[in-house]
Chains A and B, each alone.
Chain A
Amino acid sequence: MRIGVYVCHCGLNIEAMVDVSGVAKFASILPDVVVARDYKYMCSDPGQEMIKKDITEFGLDRVVVASCSPRMHEPTFQVAIQEAGLNPYCFEMANIREHCSWVHTDKERATEKAEALVAAAVFKASQLEPLETIEVDVTPIALVIGAGIAGMQAALDIAEEGFKVYLVEKEPSIGGHMAQLDKTFPTLDCSACILTPKMVDVARHPNIELITYAEVESVEGYIGNFKVRVRKKPRYIDEDKCTGCGICAQHCPVKVLNEFDLGLGYRKATYVPFPQAIPMKYTIDRDNCIQCRTCENVCGMEAVDFEQKEEFLEFDVGAIVVATGYDLLDPLKEPEFGYELENVISGLQFERLSNASGPTGGKLIINGKVPKDVVFISCVGSREKGGREYCSRFCCMYNAKQAHLVGEKIPDANVTVLYSDMRAYGEGFEEFYNRVREEGVRYVRRELEDPIEVKMMDGEEDRVVVVAKTENGLEEFKSDLVVLANAAVAKGDADKVRRLTSVSRSRDGFFLELHPKLRPIETTVAGIFLAGCAQAPKDIPDSVAQGSAAASYVCSLLAQKRAKGESCISVVDEDLCIGCGTCVSVCPFGAMEFSERGTYGSSNFRKVAQNISALCKGCGICGSECPGRALNVKHFKDEQILAQVEGILSV
Chain B
Amino acid sequence: MTFPKIITFCCNWCAYPGADLAGISHFKYPENARIIRVMCSGRVDPGLVLEAFISGADGVMVMGCHIGECHYEHGNFEAERRIKLLQYLFNKYGLGAERLRIEWIAASEGMKFAEVTADFVETVREIGIMQEETTEILEVMKDTFYGERLRLALGAANRALSSGADGEKYEEALRRIAEEEMNKYRVLQTLRKEGELSARVVAEKLGLSLRETFNHFLDLTREGVIEEGEMGEDQYIVYRFVG
Contacts and interface: CB of A to CB of B under 8 A. Distances in A.
> Within the complex, are A and B direct neighbours (CB within 8 Å)?
yes
B5 to A, nearest CB: 33
On chain A, which size bracket covers the interface?
20 to 34
B237 A254 contact: no
Contacts of B160: 290-293
Interface in A72-107: none
Interface string A365-387: 10111111000000000000000
B149 A253 contact: yes
Given A342-B211, A367-B211, A461-B210, A254 B173 contact: yes
A241 interface: no
A368 B217 contact: yes
Interface stretch (B93-101, B115-123, B151-159): B151-159
A589 B210 CA distance: 56
B165 A369 contact: no
Contacts of B200: 368-369, 462
A253 B150 contact: yes
B148 interface: yes
B231 A370 contact: yes
Interface residues of B, number: 35
Given A265-B218, A266-B215, A290-B165, A369 B148 contact: no
Contacts of B148: 251, 253
B163 A291 contact: yes
A462 B203 CA distance: 11
A67 B213 CA distance: 71
A13 interface: no
B159 to A, nearest CB: 6
Given A293-B163, A461-B210, A369 B199 contact: yes
B235 A369 contact: yes
A293 B170 contact: no
Nearest to A373: B235
A409 interface: no
Interface in A528-579: none
B236 interface: yes
A293 B237 contact: no
Interface string B145-187: 0001110110011011001110001100100010010000000
A269 to B, nearest CB: 10
Contacts of A365: 214, 237
By DSSP majority rule, is chain A's interface helix, strand, loop, or mixed?
Answer: loop
Contacts of A292: 152-153, 156-157, 159-160
Nearest to B221: A361
Contacts of B199: 367-369
Contact of A290 (B170, B180, B210): B170
Contacts of B150: 253
A369 B159 CA distance: 42
Contacts of B156: 253, 290, 292-294
Contacts of A372: 235
A254 B209 CA distance: 21
B198 interface: yes
A594 interface: no
B205 to A, nearest CB: 13
A215 interface: no
A639 B22 CA distance: 105
A255 interface: yes
B210 A462 contact: yes
A306 B163 contact: yes
A332 B184 CA distance: 28
Contacts of A253: 148-150, 152-153, 156, 177
A293 B160 CA distance: 7
Contacts of B159: 291-293
B235 A480 contact: yes
Interface string B43-61: 0000000000000000000
A265 B221 CA distance: 13
Contacts of A462: 200, 210
Contacts of B165: 290-291
A57 to B, nearest CB: 83
Contact of B214 (A254, A293, A294, A368): A368
A372 to B, nearest CB: 5
B153 A290 contact: yes
A370 B170 CA distance: 39
10 contacts: A253-B177, A254-B173, A266-B215, A291-B170, A343-B210, A359-B215, A365-B214, A368-B210, A368-B217, A369-B199
3 closest cross-chain pairs (CB), A and B: A368-B199, A292-B156, A367-B210
Given A291-B160, A293-B163, A342-B211, 8 more contacts: A253-B148, A253-B152, A254-B173, A254-B177, A265-B215, A290-B165, A369-B234, A372-B235
